[in-house]
Amino acid sequence: MSTANTGTTTYDGSCHCGRIAYTVEGQLDKVYECNCSHCSRKGYLLWFLPRTALHLKTAADAMSTYRFNKHVIDHRFCPNCGCAPFGLGTDKKGAATVAVNVRCLEGLDLAALERVPVDGRSF
């Protein structure tokens, strides 16, 4: 983790075995905790950013992808250790976004983050 003059911080993220590794840069103030059937099973704590904030350090084809429902989000996961470090999608304006699972970032105090509940189960 390193903080730049701009107020953004660069975090290192990875799956458990390291087949997927990346950095993500931004200001992390809150995370979204969704109760839908998928997020609750994976335990996601999500941080939404522009896709350009994500820098993959490992091969893109090392990841597997899970899609469900409307198939609008590519939920990336490691086929070896099973961790799901982020998902790729687009926002309402069509801009490419990444939803980073902050549980896969290093050096974070998860208890100190503001958690915003999302009632995805009712959508």
In sequence order, the 6+-apart residues with CB closer than 8 A to the CB of 23 are 10, 11, 12, 13, 54, 55, 57
**Residue 1 touching Zn ion (CB under 5 A):** no
**Residue 58 touching Zn ion (CB under 5 A):** no
Helix (H, G, I), strand (E, B) or coil at 99: strand
Structural contact between residues 11 and 85, judged by C-beta atoms closer than 8 angstroms: no
**Residue 17 touching Zn ion (CB under 5 A):** yes
| Per rule CB under 5 A, count of chain residues that contact Zn ion | 6
Helix (H, G, I), strand (E, B) or coil at 104: helix
Min CB(82)–Zn ion separation in Å: 7
Residues 61-100 that bind Zn ion (CB under 5 A): 78, 80-81
Residues of this chain that interact with Zn ion (CB under 5 A) are: 15, 17, 19, 78, 80-81
